[in-house]
Amino acid sequence: MFNKIANVLSIVSFVMVASMSGGAYFGYKYVTSENFKAKVMNQILDQVQGLMPDILDNELPNLTGASIPMPKKQMKFID
């Protein structure tokens, strides 16, 4: 009786380890693929583009003042 239980538990354990290993392998392959990188970059760029007008409106001044005059330096010529 114990032998049958041990065999069933061994088979269940093997199936679990094999499925976890296979899932980890295919998950790693998916995360490192070019399709995944492109999908993530598109999502990030969509979010950033949505935020940019708000950030630019809040940070850039509406009006600017006159430029600061530059001091005039006298040039000295060395003979």
pLDDT tens string 15-27: 999 999 999 999 9
Q: What is the pLDDT of residue 48?
A: 80
CA torsion 51-54-55-58 (nearest 10°) is: -170
Report d(CA 22, CA 65) in Å as an integer: 65
> Mind listing the pLDDT tens digit for each residue in 2-11?
999 999 999 9
Burial string for 1-20 (b: 16+ CB within 10 Å, else e) reads eeeeeeeeeeeeeeeeeeee
